[in-house]
Amino acid sequence: MKQLLLAFLIFSSISSIAQIAFVDSSLTWEQLAKKAKDENKLVFIHVEGSGCEQCNTVATQGFSSPILKEKFAKNFVSTRVNIESKNGLKFAEKFKIPHPLISLFVDADGNVLHKYVGSTSSGITYAQQADMAISKIGQKPFAAYEKQYEAGERSPAFIREFITRQKEMQMPIDRLLDEYAGMLTIDSLQNFETVKFIYKQSPTVDSRIYKAIQAVTPRKIIDSIYKNIPYPEAVAINNGIIGSTFRKAVKTKDQNLVFQLSSFIQGTYGNDYEVGYMASQRNLNQYMHAIKDTAQYIMGVSNFINHHYMMLSVDSLKRIDAKQLARQPKTQHNGGPGVTSSVVSFPPPSQFYHIELNEHAWHFYEMSNRKSDLEKALMWSKKSIEWFDELNKGKNHPMTLGNPAYLDTYAHLLYKLGHKEEAIVWQTKAVEASKAAKQPFPTIEKELAKMKAGTL
């Protein structure tokens, strides 16, 4: 099963009662706006599609979080619309929505305050996005910035503000960032705050502004940015640069750019060469998959997993977790008079190893009909199941019968290899595991029916 569903199964909190009260999806924008004005609220619009059932299920899980009930009831008129419906098409046209899986937070006058792209099972994430939108009530509408820009406003201060708002709205900022770069002097690129601002905008590694910083900004200033901001913020800066560069490389199919990105990724790990190298190779494999270069992807992934994963044991993964935990900075929390606690919160790296094995196994299932490739993927899939079970043993994990996504992948590979009866056994396990975890997925049951009918 695909990674999107997998991520949901691993990280979701369990809840079965919807907490956000959504109004009828047939209500038009005009009706929603009137209701919002009458109740002195904002409008929350989640736009979804029919192309990814798992994505919609993930969103439902997030919206089911009890922490959202009061916040959304108090502050929002909420709706979910399908972008393929008549009403959904009208919303897409009005708010310039290019694709589904977008959540908009809009005031009653139609000004978009905040945008969240994607779906998540995390109620906390939706709560945070709602708080961001609420914090922007009364601020200059984004549309006003667009009008000023179209009217010729180009002052550096305005462009900085416009860049910030574009980034908040998760809109492309490359052109604006390059325009801002053209306004800067060499002296300004030696200013801590200016360089920090630029880095936080996620410039691509081949952009004019990033190259200028690398050429004229003293290394000590760049290093001081990472040393003087919170660790999560520093990670976010690097992830932003990586993400924007990766998307550009895929869009343009620029292999030279993806190699530049690999060097950047390697450098973010400092002296930990082995971990940095693995991260850069993962990026290259993801690129080959994204541009649908099947031959390069299959060869690259096979070499990567054989060299770095197949010799690992569960004990090896536990040591990797312990090493990361020791490195993780602690955050101080005031627990009351005279009480201060140190809390470390991080996703254990071990989970990404079995996530990755399952993801690549599923991609091989989708991309290849060669027996040797499928047998290789079957071995990886089996190991992902074993690692997941061993790492979560005794942790009161909700998936007591195993990870349904991993079992689903294993069953599909068996089926494609011609082992129909064995595939049905494992797909039945996947169905039982999803029910035991109180996370039933119709897709898994439908696939089981197809296996039994011989029509998968």
Per-residue pLDDT at 16:
38
Summarize the confidence of residues 376-405 as an average pLDDT.
Answer: 90
pLDDT-based confidence at 328, cuts 50/70/90? Answer: low
> How far, in Å, CA of 323 to CA of 350, rounded?
11
Residues 156-162: contacts with CB within 8 Å, 24+ apart? Answer: 156/180, 156/183, 156/184, 159/183, 160/197
For CA atoms 71, 77, 81, 83, give the dihedral sign.
negative
pLDDT-based confidence at 14, cuts 50/70/90? Answer: very low
Summarize the confidence of residues 287-300 as an average pLDDT.
Answer: 96
Q: Which of 230-234, 341-345, 424-428 has the lowest mean pLDDT?
A: 341-345
Amino acid letter at 196?
K
Per-residue pLDDT at 43:
96
Question: Does residue 265 contact residue 249 with C-beta atoms inside 8 Å?
Answer: no
For CA atoms 315, 316, 317, 319, give the dihedral sign.
positive
pLDDT-based confidence at 440, cuts 50/70/90? Answer: low
Per-residue pLDDT at 290:
94
> How far, in Å, CA of 331 to CA of 46, rounded?
34
Paired with 42 in beta bridges are 76
Q: Which of the given ranges, 61-70, 75-84, 179-188, has the highest pLDDT on average? A: 75-84
Per-residue pLDDT at 51:
80
pLDDT-based confidence at 334, cuts 50/70/90? Answer: very low
Q: Which of 170-174, 211-215, 253-257, 438-442 has the lowest mean pLDDT?
A: 438-442
Per-residue pLDDT at 346:
56
Burial 154-191 (b: 16+ CB within 10 A, else e): eeeeebbebbebbbebeeebbebbebbbeebeeeebee
C-alpha distances (whole Å) from 202 to each of 42, 198, 236, 276 are 30, 7, 9, 20
Q: Which of 374, 355, 356 is nearest to 365 (CA)?
A: 374
Task: Copy the structure tokens of residue 407.
Answer: 């079992």
Task: Copy the structure tokens of residue 264.
Answer: 């950047």
Per-residue pLDDT at 322:
86
pLDDT-based confidence at 438, cuts 50/70/90? Answer: confident
> How far, in Å, CA of 377 to CA of 296, rounded?
16
Half-sphere exposure of 328 toward its Cβ, with a 13 Å CA cutoff? 18
Question: Does residue 151 contact residue 158 with C-beta atoms inside 8 Å?
Answer: no
* pLDDT(339) > 60: no
The 10s digit of each residue's pLDDT in 173-204 is: 888 998 998 888 889 999 999 999 999 999 99
Summarize the confidence of residues 227-254 as an average pLDDT.
Answer: 92
Per-residue pLDDT at 291:
96
pLDDT over 90 percentage in the chain:
63
> How far, in Å, CA of 437 to CA of 118, rounded?
24
SS3 85: coil
> How far, in Å, CA of 300 to CA of 407, rounded?
25
> How far, in Å, CA of 191 to CA of 425, rounded?
63
* pLDDT higher at 12 or 395: 395
For CA atoms 169, 173, 177, 179, give the dihedral sign.
negative
Amino acid letter at 55?
C
301 CA to centre of own chain = 21
76-82 and 42-48 beta bridge pairing: parallel
Per-residue pLDDT at 9:
40
339-343 and 331-336 beta bridge pairing: antiparallel
Summarize the confidence of residues 331-342 as an average pLDDT.
Answer: 42
Summarize the confidence of residues 55-74 as an average pLDDT.
Answer: 89
Looking at every residue in the chain, the average pLDDT score rounds to 87
> Which residues are within 8 A (CB) of 348 and not within 5 positions of it... i.e. 6 or more apart?
321, 324, 325, 391
Residue pointed to by tokens 């869009």:
251
Q: What is the four-CA torsion angle of 253, 116, 330, 342, rounded to 10 degrees? A: -160
The 10s digit of each residue's pLDDT in 21-31 is: 999 999 999 99
User: Residue 114: what are its φ and ψ, rounded to 5°?
Assistant: -160, 155
